[in-house]
């Protein structure tokens, strides 16, 4: 399993995550090595391995002097139930929590996306999302599963709409992701006018209906609204926010493969269409829990005694904390949060984490 770290975060926070997650080893290069000073963790330095010749230079190079991570860390054979990645997200107790997602869960999500949108070897995917955000998981692995091309953006291009528009044109990118607040900035950028792509995916925040319409007035591409928490392998529902879609609000839509969306009342009973309740998720994409914190998992992953009155059997569900309601056509609409979780440019923040930091400060 891999655990991505954001090297722009304070070293102290990185070290707290390492202490909690206890990785077998940390992969570093000459720049990031310094972030581990004082931390009790094994590291594998790959600087030499990646010091490859500039493209176009004729020199070939064998990384003889490099530590090969494969020989440094013997890797076990992977089974579907084994963890694939651990992604840290804000925790209301003041400590970030590490969500553990299995291969079975993320492979379901990736294969669904490949088949549902018919992606194949002709597509060019842009990787621009920070690795610490789970959207990066499909950006990185979907091209490999469909034989497409992976275009890797320079660091920080995702924050620069002008550079991003130029990159999409230059590299003839077909598939790209935006959190809606970044899509808003992108639509304001003169360079985005008239771009042609195959599919733009939004997720992480509500997609306003008016942004959908602005998008279609400027950009020639399909637009998709995906929804899901880190705790359920990136996304669990989809909606085609097409040019002629007049929905307001834009729904989060229908479940992906092997996934159940349940809108329940306070007694965990399903609500009728049009009635707002809490959105619970079930199925293959649910995370295993949080690293080293079974108490937190117990609070959010519940066992429901049985949702089908004719065949009641216990099901494991994740309590998203999102409010939702059914439309008459079976699409789900997002209606806000039940708690104090907020999003800042797509970044999930528990206000409780900030409160806890204030309370412990002298």
- Can you give the binding site for ligand AMP, defined by CB under 6 A? 89, 203-207, 225, 227, 229-230, 252, 320, 322, 334, 337, 348
CB of 57 to ligand AMP, least distance (A): 40
258: left (phi over 0), alpha (psi -120 to 50) or beta: left
Q: Which of the 8 DSSP states describes residue 116?
A: H
Residue nearer to ligand AMP on the CB measure, 39 or 323: 323
Residue nearer to ligand AMP on the CB measure, 224 or 284: 224
CB of 45 to ligand AMP, least distance (A): 31
Residue nearer to ligand AMP on the CB measure, 124 or 186: 186
CB of 229 to ligand AMP, least distance (A): 4
Which has the closest alpha carbon to 338: 269, 260, 281, 277?
Answer: 277
Residue nearer to ligand AMP on the CB measure, 132 or 198: 132
CA atoms lying within 13 Å on the CB side of residue 314: 4
Residue nearer to ligand AMP on the CB measure, 34 or 242: 242
**Strand pairing of 220-227 and 196-202?**
parallel
Q: Which structure tokens are listed for 134? A: 């789970």
- 3-class DSSP assignment, residue 65: coil
Residue 43 has a CB neighbour count (10 Å cut-off) of: 17
The residue assigned the tokens 């439309």 is 327
Residue nearer to ligand AMP on the CB measure, 138 or 334: 334
Q: Which of the 8 DSSP states describes residue 82?
A: S
- 288-293, Cβ contacts within 8 angstroms, sequence gap of 24 or more: 288/83, 288/100, 288/101, 288/102, 289/99, 289/100, 290/97, 290/98, 290/99, 290/100, 291/20, 291/21, 291/86, 291/97, 291/98, 291/100, 292/20, 292/21, 292/22, 292/98, 293/97, 293/98
CB of 204 to ligand AMP, least distance (A): 5
Contact call for residues 148 and 142 (beta carbons, < 8 A): yes
CB of 205 to ligand AMP, least distance (A): 5
Q: Which structure tokens are listed for 345? A: 């440019």
CB of 101 to ligand AMP, least distance (A): 11
Residue nearer to ligand AMP on the CB measure, 119 or 201: 201
Residue nearer to ligand AMP on the CB measure, 288 or 322: 322
CB of 176 to ligand AMP, least distance (A): 16
CB of 171 to ligand AMP, least distance (A): 26
Q: Which structure tokens are listed for 28? A: 């570093």
């Amino acid at each position: 399993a891999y655990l991505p770290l954001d090297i722009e975060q304070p070293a102290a926070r990185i070290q707290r995550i390492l202490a909690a997650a206890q990785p077998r080893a940390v992969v570093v290069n000459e720049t990031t090595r310094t972030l581990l000073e004082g931390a009790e963790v094994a590291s594998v330095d790959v600087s030499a391995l990646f010091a490859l010749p500039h493209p176009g230079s004729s020199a070939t190079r064998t990384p003889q002097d490099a530590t090969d991570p494969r020989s440094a860390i013997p890797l076990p054979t992977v089974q579907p139930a084994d963890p694939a990645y651990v992604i840290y997200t804000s925790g209301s107790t003041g400590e970030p929590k590490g969500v553990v997602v299995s291969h079975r869960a993320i492979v379901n999500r990736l294969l669904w996306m490949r088949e549902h949108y018919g992606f194949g070897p002709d597509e060019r995917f842009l990787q621009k999302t920070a690795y610490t955000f789970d959207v990066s998981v499909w950006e990185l692995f979907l091209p490999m599963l469909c034989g497409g091309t992976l275009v890797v953006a320079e660091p920080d291009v995702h924050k620069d709409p002008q550079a991003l528009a130029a990159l999409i044109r230059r590299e003839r990118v077909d598939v790209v992701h935006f959190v809606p607040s970044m899509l808003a900035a992108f639509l304001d950028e003169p360079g985005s006018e008239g771009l042609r792509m195959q599919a733009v995916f939004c997720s992480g925040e509500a997609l306003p209906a008016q942004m959908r319409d602005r998008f279609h007035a400027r950009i020639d591409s399909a637009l998709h609204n995906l929804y899901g928490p880190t705790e359920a392998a990136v996304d669990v529902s989809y909606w085609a926010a097409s040019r002629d879609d007049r929905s307001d609000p834009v729904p989060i839509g229908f479940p992906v493969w092997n996934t159940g969306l349940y809108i329940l009342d306070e007694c965990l009973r399903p609500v009728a269409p049009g009635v707002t309740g809490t959105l619970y998720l079930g199925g293959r994409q649910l995370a295993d829990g949080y690293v080293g914190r079974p108490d937190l998992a117990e609070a959010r992953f519940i066992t429901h005694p049985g949702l089908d009155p004719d065949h009641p059997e216990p099901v494991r569900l994740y309590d998203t904390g999102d409010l939702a309601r059914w439309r008459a056509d079976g699409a789900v609409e997002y209606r806000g949060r039940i708690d104090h979780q907020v999003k800042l440019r797509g970044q999930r923040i528990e206000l409780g984490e900030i409160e806890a930091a204030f309370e412990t400060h002298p």
